[in-house]
Amino acid sequence: MLRYCALILFLFMSGPLYASDACSGSTEEKLQCHSGEVKDFLRRWVRAWGDGDIDTYLSLYTTARSPREDLTSEEWIQHRRARIGPGKEIELNLKLESMGLEDSGIFDVIFTQQYRSTAFQDEVRKRLFLLRDGQELRIWKEEILP
């Protein structure tokens, strides 16, 4: 049975906002308006990963490029399919550190990730860059931070 831990993001339950034109004002006001949508996205990402739902997990990434600079898109997909899928017992916890919105409209999210499976465990700081693809957010880039 797959297990995943609830997000420890200090999230306050707020419904997602999918209409990108519903928010206006300063960058800070736009970030505040979309913070619930970003947190909802992170919940779906963790749930798909923890449940081994590789198709949903991959759908949360943009297809325009590999989220890692050291792998091609095809290599990255093969790498993720080998690590995520049915029968993999995974626990994943995130602790949100910061969330920003660049002038380009890309969300910059930094968090600490605790990962544990039957074969491996670690704790890393990560940065995700999320961009809007139509009405949905997608991960454009993913980095491990020092």
17-61 pLDDT, tens digit per residue, is 333 456 878 888 888 888 999 999 999 999 999 999 999 999 999
- Domain range for 111 is 23-145
45-102 pLDDT, tens digit per residue, is 999 999 999 999 999 999 888 888 899 999 999 999 988 877 788 999 999 999 999 9
119 belongs to a structural domain:
yes
84 belongs to a structural domain:
yes
Reported as half-sphere exposure (CB side, CA atoms, 13 A), residue 15 has a value of 3
Distance between CA atoms of 67 and 10, rounded to whole angstroms? 26
Would you call 109 helix, strand, or coil by DSSP? strand
Token readout for 15 is 């419904």
Q: How many structural domains is the chain composed of?
A: 1
pLDDT score, position 22: 67
Tokens 């454009």 belong to 140
Q: Which CATH number is 66's domain given?
A: 3.10.450.50
**Residue of 21, 54, 45, 53 whose CA lies nearest to 137:** 45
Tell me the whole-structure pTM to 2 decimals: 0.81
pLDDT score, position 85: 79
Tokens 């039957």 belong to 118
Distance between CA atoms of 136 and 128, rounded to whole angstroms? 15
